[in-house]
Each structure stands twice: as structure tokens, then as C-alpha cells.
Structure 1
Amino acid sequence: MMALVEVTVMPLGTQSTSLSRFVAGCLEILQQAEDIQFQLTPMGTVIEGDLNRVLELVRRMHEQPFLAGASRVNTSIRIDDRRDKQGTMAGKMAAVEEKLTKPGGTD
């Protein structure tokens, strides 16, 4: 089974209010992982994969800003771990889009 995990890594105590270089460092970790899918959003990143593997990657993402000079890091994680059927990012989006085109659509 796959889990969907939304993660936001927030470096604090940096030299600038711009965080894009820290985000890029975290995404490099995900780009190197061939066994997961991910999608960057304006406020975080959604990762799809085996929960243990994703949590391992999130731990590495949390450490990345420290390696890049941050004094403090606050990481928020939301986990959608559905076990009655396979869930994917694309499937969740499609379910909502289908209901937008069909008035009164239900699960």
C-alpha cells in the first residue's frame, strides 16, 4: 500500500527571507529517490510511496536546511494512509474533478 504524505520544511534563523534554495535542496533528495512520486506545491510537497520509505526521506529533508546553514527547522507532516484501497495523488485529484463535472456526485 502507498501513503500520501504532505511535508513542509521551514528553515528558521537564515540570512534571508527567501527559502527557495532550501526547498531546492530538499527536492534534490526526492529527485534521487526512484521509488516514490512527488509533487511540489506552492506551500509544500506531496510525496507518494511506501510509508516507511517516505518517512525516511522526510527525515533527510528535515536535515537538509541544517546542512545548508539554517539554525532551526520546523517540519510539518500530514499523512493519508488509506488501507482499504490504493490511493494516489492522481486518483484523489480525479475523484474531485469528476464530482465537479457531475452535480451531486458521491464516493
Structure 2
Amino acid sequence: MKLYKEGKVDIMDIINVEEKGGKQMAIMEITVVPLGTGSTSISQYVASCHRLLEIEEGIKYQLTPMSTVIEGDIEKLFQVAQKLHQVPAGEGAQRISTSIKIDDRKDKVSTMDGKIASVQSKL
């Protein structure tokens, strides 16, 4: 994966990584904030988003105190993010602000559990 370290990307390297280690997974942190609800509480909207995640196939997810982290194929993550963004609108929110961060490693397979284990091994 030397090309990645040099800042050069070759589609054949991406294909080779997928053939060797399976489909690459990305990790997305998403925060969906409903606005214009008349309340400062958002836990009911978070719960509704997680009910949607429960029925989505091909992803793994983790609730955190400030966001939700989702793991899966990058294309699937964008589809899920779009669905999550719409959840508060279906419950009456007049405005929705969604923030997304993506960790999409191409040099090796990365998972939510692996990232946590890496930090814990250094504690």
C-alpha cells in the first residue's frame, strides 16, 4: 500500500485490498440534531434513529453520549445517514442539522472495536 503513504491513489490497489481482506469497512460518526421542536430534549429523536438502525442490514452501530458511530460499507453508510437525517422531520422537527465524520482507511481493515482496542492497549 505504498501508494497511499505517498499520497497517490490507484484504483487497482483498492481492488487488491478488497480481494485480500474482504470488503473495506468505513466508520462514520453521525449526530442528527432536530431544531424548531419547542424543546431542548432530543432523546426521543435519538431513540427513533436507533430504531431505524436496528432494522438496517449490513451495518454495526454504537450509541455514545454525544453521537452514534456506524460501521459498514461506505456507500451503505451514506444511505443510512440520509435516512437518519430525515427521522426528525417525520416527527415534526422544522429544521435538522446533521454532522458527519468519516474514517475510511485504505491501508488496512479498521473497525470500531479495533480502534477502541488500539487505544486500550496503550493505557
Is TM-score (shorter-chain normalized) higher than 0.5?
yes
Q: State the match for 1:97 in structure 2.
A: 120
Q: Which runs of 5+ in 1 are unaligned?
A: 101-107
Rounded Cα–Cα distance in structure 1 between residues aligned with 2:80 and 2:52: 7
**What residue number does 1:29 align with?**
52
Aligned partner letter, 1:60: K
Residues 14-57 of structure 1 deviation map (CA, whole Å, 9 limit, x = unaligned): 02111111111111111101210000001000000001001100
User: Residue 80 in 1 paired to residue 80 in 2?
Assistant: no
The aligned length equals: 100
Matched residue type, 1:93: I
- CA RMSD in angstroms comes to 0.6
* Structure 2, gaps ≥5 residues long: 1-23
Bigger radius of gyration: 2
Q: Which residue of structure 2 lines up, in the alignment, with residue 56 of structure 1?
A: 79
TM-score (norm 1): 0.91
Determine what percentage of the aligned residue pairs are the same residue.
52
Between 1:25-34 and 1:51-60, the stretch displaced more is 25-34
Counterpart of 1:68 in structure 2 is 91
Whole-Å Cα distance in 2 between the matches of residues 66 and 34 of structure 1? 23
Q: Which has the higher helix share?
A: 2
